[in-house]
């Protein structure tokens, strides 16, 4: 409907209000459809709490909580709950290459549930067993996907929504741009979250107007006062341009988006021939993935806490192009929310 050649002002107001009231916000009980994605090694408890307190939802990354920020998981969750009474989420990587890791993740999920966490984001495996546990207490599970095939499998596993990881994401990025991914998945009748490339208010509004029920941001929240990574990491994000983000498979064996540092330029972005061969081997791939995982946990932790050295990997997405300053989490979220309401 139009009004003197313009959009009907009543309908326009409703549309703007509905930007922030989505299936996702109803699922998890939050005000603003915005997730601070789980980040190893960057998800310290203060950052998680600040995002939830400001109206979005912060996600606990258990390995970062325990190994980097030195909190017992249960005590770390309780610390977050002392800082905010708003909902928080939990990141569960459910791949089964290691029985030890699988057992540990199961115990971590039980602890999170015991402490009242009711929103879980799963990745890299079949989420059905997590869904069963979480649904039993009235919670919700969303799953990371990069294409229709994995989205359908996740829905078969019972998930309530999908985190749609596109080609502009930091860390393990997808292959499709956000428009293509939305078109591929929009008929699945579950809430879709845009993950990747959200670095400013316009990006946020564009994703919501496209039909996404929310967005997930990581890189933007690294460059905040509450994030406890080294100032060199934050400066690298503020100084970087989109063209400075490159993919390397030297961290985990699969492409990861990082900032092009002097170390990356010197060593290149491709795994050597032996690593590639082992990653394709039916048995060898499990050992190589374990090796890469342990190596990356150490390297990323060191870079995030000690700053610029000659062997740094700073994970970041192409949203760096919209990040110009280090500021508080509340400032970021309220600015996004205000823009969406206008």
Phi, psi (5° rounding) for residue 306?
-105, -10
Instruction: Read off the pLDDT of each residue in 271-298 and give the average, rounded to a whole number.
Output: 49
- How many Cβ atoms are within 10 Å of 265's Cβ, its own excluded? 10
Average pLDDT, the chain: 85
pLDDT at 44 over 90: yes
CA of 326: how far to CAs of 78, 233, 308, in Å?
27, 11, 17
Top-confidence residue, 282 or 174: 174
Q: What pLDDT shows up at residue 295?
A: 52
- Predicted confidence (pLDDT) at residue 8 exceeds the cutoff of 70: no
Q: How many CB atoms lie within 10 A of CB 138?
A: 7
Closest CA to 169 of 215, 109, 211: 215
CA–CA distance, 147 with 256 (Å, rounded to integer): 17
pLDDT for 65-79, tens place per residue?
A: 998 899 999 999 999
Q: Is the pLDDT of residue 120 over 60?
A: yes
Q: What backbone phi and psi angles, to 5 degrees, belong to 34? A: -145, 125
Q: Are 134 and 140 in contact (CB under 8 A)?
A: yes
The residue-averaged pLDDT of 28-53 equals 96
Backbone angles phi, psi at 81, to 5 degrees: -70, -25
Which burial class, exposed, middle or buried, applies to 140 when counting CB atoms under 10 A from its CB (0-12, 13-18, 19+)? Answer: buried
Q: In percent, how much of the chain has pLDDT > 90?
A: 66
pLDDT tens-digit readout, 203-213: 999 999 999 99
pTM: 0.85
Q: In the structure, what pLDDT confidence band is assigned to residue 254 with cuts at 50, 70 and 90?
A: low
- Beta strands in the chain, from DSSP E residues, in sequence order: 2-3, 6-7, 34-36, 57-60, 89-93, 119-123, 140-145, 161-165, 192-195, 214-217, 245-248, 256-259
Of the listed ranges 8-22, 86-100, 132-146, 300-314, the one predicted with least confidence: 300-314
Show Cβ contacts of residue 201 under 8 Å, excluding neighbours closer than 6 positions: 335, 336, 339, 340
Do the beta carbons of residue 72 and residue 95 sit within 8 Å?
no
Q: 205 to each of 39, 171, 201, 294, 342, how far by Cα in Å? A: 23, 23, 6, 38, 10
Judged on CB neighbours under 10 Å (0-12, 13-18, 19+), 310 is exposed
pLDDT of residue 293: 54
Specify the pLDDT at position 261: 80
Ranges of CATH 3.20.20.70 domains, the chain: 2-228+323-341
- Say how many CA atoms lie within 13 Å of 3 toward its Cβ: 6
Architecture of domain 2-228+323-341 in this structure: Alpha-Beta Barrel (3.20)
pLDDT digits (tens, 9 = 90+) for 227-236: 999 898 999 9
For residue 222, pLDDT beyond 80: yes
Q: What is the pLDDT of residue 1?
A: 37
pLDDT in tens, 166-194: 999 987 888 999 999 999 999 999 999 99
Question: Rounded to 5 degrees, what are φ and ψ at 112?
Answer: -60, -45
Q: 210, 218, 168: which is closest to 192 by C-alpha?
A: 210
Cβ(126)–Cβ(145) below 8 Å: no
Residue 161 has pLDDT above 50, yes or no: yes
* Residue 305 scores a pLDDT above 60: no
For residue 80, is pLDDT > 60? Answer: yes
Kindly tell me if the per-residue pLDDT of 3 is higher than 50.
no
If we measure between CA atoms, which residue out of 124, 56, 70, 113 comes closest to residue 90?
113
pLDDT for residue 200 is more than 50: yes
């Amino acid at each position: 409907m139009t009004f003197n050649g313009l959009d009907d002002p009543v309908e326009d107001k409703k549309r703007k209000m509905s930007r922030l009231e989505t299936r996702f916000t109803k699922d998890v009980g939050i005000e603003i459809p915005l997730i601070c994605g789980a980040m190893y090694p960057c998800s310290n408890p203060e950052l998680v709490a600040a995002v939830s307190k400001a109206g979005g939802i912060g996600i606990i990354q258990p390995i970062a909580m325990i190994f980097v920020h030195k909190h017992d998981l249960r005590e770390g969750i309780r610390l977050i709950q002392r800082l905010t009474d708003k909902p928080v989420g939990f990141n569960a990587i459910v791949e089964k290459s290691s029985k030890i890791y699988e057992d540990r993740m199961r115990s971590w999920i039980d602890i999170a549930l015991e402490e009242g966490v009711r929103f879980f984001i799963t990745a890299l495996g079949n989420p059905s067993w997590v869904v069963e546990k979480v649904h039993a207490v009235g919670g919700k599970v969303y799953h990371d996907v990069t294409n229709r095939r994995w989205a359908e499998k996740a829905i078969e596993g019972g998930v309530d929504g999908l985190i749609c990881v596109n080609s502009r994401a930091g860390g393990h990025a997808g292959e499709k741009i956000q428009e293509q991914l939305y078109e591929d998945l929009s008929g699945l009748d579950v809430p879709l979250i845009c993950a990747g490339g959200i670095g400013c208010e316009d990006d946020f509004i564009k994703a919501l107007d496209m039909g996404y029920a929310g967005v997930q941001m990581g890189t933007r929240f690294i460059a905040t006062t509450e994030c406890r990574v080294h100032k060199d990491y934050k400066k690298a994000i503020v100084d970087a341009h989109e063209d400075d983000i490159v993919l390397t498979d030297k961290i985990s064996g699969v492409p990861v988006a990082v900032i092009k540092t002097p170390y990356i330029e010197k060593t290149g972005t491709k795994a050597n021939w032996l690593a590639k061969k082992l990653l394709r081997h039916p048995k060898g791939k499990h050992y190589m993935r374990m090796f890469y995982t342990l190596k990356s946990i150490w390297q990323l932790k060191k870079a995030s806490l000690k700053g610029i050295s000659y062997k740094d990997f700073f994970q970041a997405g192409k949203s760096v192009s919209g990040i110009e300053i280090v500021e508080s989490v509340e400032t970021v979220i309220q600015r996004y929310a205000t823009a969406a309401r206008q």
